[in-house]
Amino acid sequence: MDAITHKRDSEPPAPAAGEAGADITRQLSGRLRALRTERGWSLQRAAEVCGVSKAMLGQIERGESSPTVALLWRIAGGFGCALSDLLPPPVAAAAEVRDPGRLRARPASDAMLVAPLFPFDPELGFEVFELTLLPGYERVSEPHVAGVVEHVVVQRGSLEVLIDGAWARLGEGEGLRLAGDREHGYRNVADTAVVFLDLIHYPRGRGARRD
Ligand code: MN
């Protein structure tokens, strides 16, 4: 995968904040070890596939640090799994009301809050996040696995999306579909938070926990 490096990615991971952060760190540690065991990969092999340093991956597996969301994406790309596969599991019930206020957490040092509204479903091939970018947030994402398509709908505030090398501005209620397997990015240049939904669709056979 052609990783587009970004300064933020190379910064050392910050310890996860608060109880929710500790939960996420613990969950991530367990998921990562399980995924690696499933594939029979050594730490070295996993680090190479994900394009992450072995030391960093080891720290995350031991629950000693929480990575940035960008790093989570890189790990998900390496393992060929969905982002929500690395986050706390859903409390699944068919008619359960999903309250972003309770699901929202800051999984990393990024100025970004993530609420897994509908975690990845292997049958349906998609996951839905509510994402909050705090003022000043900017990230150019490395491409996700081939065939990933993101559907972005702004709920509050004004979002700028990097698509085909130019920043497009989306206002409240506006949506945009973009190829997640090409360079893309998000930024908030306003002085208030922007909240948007991101439905991420994975092509058949990708993003699954297994197979
Ligand atoms: Mn993306």
Domains of the chain: 7-86 (1.10.260.40), 100-201 (2.60.120.10)
pLDDT at 93: 58
Cα(211) to ligand 1 centroid in Å equals: 23
pLDDT at 19: 56
Cα(126) to ligand 1 centroid in Å equals: 13
Asked if 186 and 170 count as a contact pair (C-beta separation under 8 A), the reply is no
pLDDT at 83: 85
User: What ranges make up the beta strands (E) of the chain?
Assistant: 112-121, 126-133, 138-141, 149-156, 159-163, 166-170, 175-179, 184-187, 194-201
Cα(47) to ligand 1 centroid in Å equals: 21
pLDDT at 80: 85
pLDDT at 88: 66
Cα(182) to ligand 1 centroid in Å equals: 9
Cα(8) to ligand 1 centroid in Å equals: 15
pLDDT at 210: 36
For residues 51 and 159, give the distance between their C-alpha atoms in angstroms, rounded to a whole number. 29
Q: Output the six-digit token pair for 170.
A: 């989306």
Task: Indicate the pTM of the whole model.
Answer: 0.69
For residues 84 and 207, give the distance between their C-alpha atoms in angstroms, rounded to a whole number. 10
| Per-run averaged pLDDT (10 residues), the chain, 211 residues | 39 46 77 89 93 92 83 88 77 73 83 90 87 94 87 98 95 96 95 97 65 34
Asked if 4 and 183 count as a contact pair (C-beta separation under 8 A), the reply is yes
pLDDT at 149: 95
Cα(183) to ligand 1 centroid in Å equals: 8
Cα 143 to Cα 14, 57, 58, 91, 205: the distances in Å are: 24, 20, 24, 29, 18
For residues 138 and 187, give the distance between their C-alpha atoms in angstroms, rounded to a whole number. 4
pLDDT at 12: 41
Cα(123) to ligand 1 centroid in Å equals: 21
Cα 177 to Cα 150, 168, 198: the distances in Å are: 6, 12, 9
